[in-house]
Chains A and B, each alone.
Chain A
């Protein structure tokens, strides 16, 4: 076994990034509050918008209005978990201003270190923010609020696929970070990931709303393995054996994206030039 693999097994040292992130997150209370309010208002507006469409012809839509409400509220509550453009400025800065020098002085694999750091960042933000939104949404009257999943199975698979989705998101973001080694400016890649990926991931409109043909292709892309799967598993839109296929596809993308990322990182590290000083 290579040294790096042994280090990967000793995951404990990366765990402390979670603690660090929670501490840092708690440091900024106003930001957390503002985030909660924004997400609540945004979710409410989205539901009202869809309500108008459903009033015209509810049968024309692939999801029930109730399932859609759950989808929207979960999406808002777990925004920090799945949003691809929610990238860490610290990491970009580290690459462009040469702070990478310190990162490379740590006895840790840089890919693993950043992977855990990003995960920690997303999880800590989510934990700090999701509860008030979920509680509020649960108190809303029937078709507008969030409801419990149809069965326990859907609930359990929601958590499993949500975790896999998070891994896909972070592995994808790692690719964005690593390209900065080559382009030296994160702006282009970030713009692309904001507009395109968000659409393909189903965060603008849920993927079932897209026309047939296009939808089948999009659902195979890694972006559909992000929030699309867990949110639809929760609402029962994806059920039965279909869950296993989707989770399998998620797993495939996790492995593939991490593999690509590690390869790219290895090459990048060799050609690294620390800027200035």
Chain B
């Protein structure tokens, strides 16, 4: 469905030091630096897949999305989506995709949202019946009854984002690109948007490509992640496998009475305060149950909690490993 092969894209950036004399020098002789935003990117995404595209700021996530949606033309490489090259056949290509740029708005500022929707209906030439059905579905799933009658400028960020998502799905796209769709949203709106995307994928088999910094998005929505850093793809794989590969420790929080816990080989005391101790258990040398047995031999355990490192920590580890921070 989506096939990307060896894509590269460079930007020119004029750089100079601070100060008046430097500014004057740059006026006469500007120094450009070529920045590789995308460097030999390749991947394939099948129909109905949901893929999380992650990486630190400036890694090339948005640039990839823009290439895939036909906005940017790469210098090298090829890309076919539904048999078309996005930047060569832009108009036919975009008819079949939906895009949400979390940091921008596609709604007309001063008129009610529904008017923007109708404009999109005309631009995409959506048959009236299809439009009515889609609108009904989107309105009820995203709770938009009142919102669509409100001018876009008077919506809160979360309300607007729900409308933005609806706007990019009116024409039944087969592929949905979401560029940071939950940026700046509160917990309730985030969950609403996520659930909606999941539902959409289940019902319509929409292929979803998602860039985000919110690891909760990744965890709830995608099975596969692609990690990009400095324009290169560093890892492409199943989220569960990566978790297994990188979470080699568990955290044990023990509330106990009497005595003192002396950690054994494979256990690491992280903190201890008035009858509560936190250990890190290295899974390569012992299992969690072995650690629990070891502790309960020494003290009377009141409560015990086992935590895996959060996915945020996991990603931080990944970034560290590939040195892209």
Which A residues lie at the B interface, using CB under 8 A? 3-4, 7, 10, 12-13, 15-17, 19-20, 23-24, 27-28, 97-102, 104-109, 113, 270, 272-274, 276-277
Contact = CB atoms under 8 A, between A and B. Distances in A.
Contacts of A276: 103
B91 A274 contact: no
B110 interface: yes
Contacts of A106: 94, 123-124
B111 A24 contact: yes
Contact of B66 (A28, A99, A101): A101
Nearest to A7: B91
A67 to B, nearest CB: 40
Nearest to A94: B104
A113 B62 CA distance: 25
Contact of B101 (A102, A113, A272): A102
B58 to A, nearest CB: 10
A277 B123 contact: no
A107 B120 CA distance: 10
6 contacts: A16-B123, A20-B119, A23-B111, A99-B105, A101-B66, A274-B66
A277 B108 contact: no
Interface of B: 11, 62, 66, 69-73, 89-92, 94-95, 97, 99, 101, 103-106, 108, 110-111, 115, 118-119, 121-125, 151, 179
B99 A105 contact: yes
Contacts of B121: 16
Q: Is the contact region of chain A dominated by helix, strand, or loop, or is it mixed?
A: helix
A108 B108 contact: no
B163 to A, nearest CB: 14
A101 B110 contact: no
A102 B104 contact: yes
A277 B101 contact: yes
A273 B123 CA distance: 24
Given A10-B125, A20-B115, A27-B111, 20 more contacts: A3-B89, A3-B91, A3-B92, A16-B119, A16-B123, A20-B108, A23-B111, A23-B115, A98-B104, A101-B101, A102-B104, A104-B69, A104-B70, A105-B71, A105-B94, A105-B99, A107-B92, A107-B124, A113-B123, A277-B103
Nearest to A104: B71
A107 B71 contact: no
Contacts of A12: 122, 125
Contacts of B125: 10, 12-13, 107
B71 A274 contact: yes
B95 A107 contact: yes
Contacts of A28: 110
Given A102-B106, A104-B70, A13 B111 contact: no
A15 B119 CA distance: 9
A142 to B, nearest CB: 42
A24 B104 contact: no
B118 A273 contact: no
B111 A107 contact: no
Task: Give the 4 A-B CB pairs with smallest separation, nearest first.
Answer: A16-B122, A107-B95, A102-B106, A104-B71
Contacts of A3: 89, 91-92
Given A102-B99, A107-B91, A16 B118 contact: yes
A108 B95 CA distance: 9
Nearest to A20: B119
A105 to B, nearest CB: 5
B91 A273 contact: no
Contacts of B90: 104
A7 to B, nearest CB: 6
A24 B92 CA distance: 29
B101 A107 contact: no
Contacts of A23: 111, 115
A24 B104 CA distance: 20
A13 B123 contact: yes
B119 to A, nearest CB: 5
Contacts of B118: 16, 19
A134 B220 CA distance: 62
A128 to B, nearest CB: 15
A4 B91 contact: yes
A10 B296 CA distance: 77
A7 B92 CA distance: 10
A13 B94 contact: no
B91 A101 contact: no
B160 to A, nearest CB: 14
B73 A270 contact: yes
Contact of B72 (A20, A24, A274): A274
B66 A27 contact: no
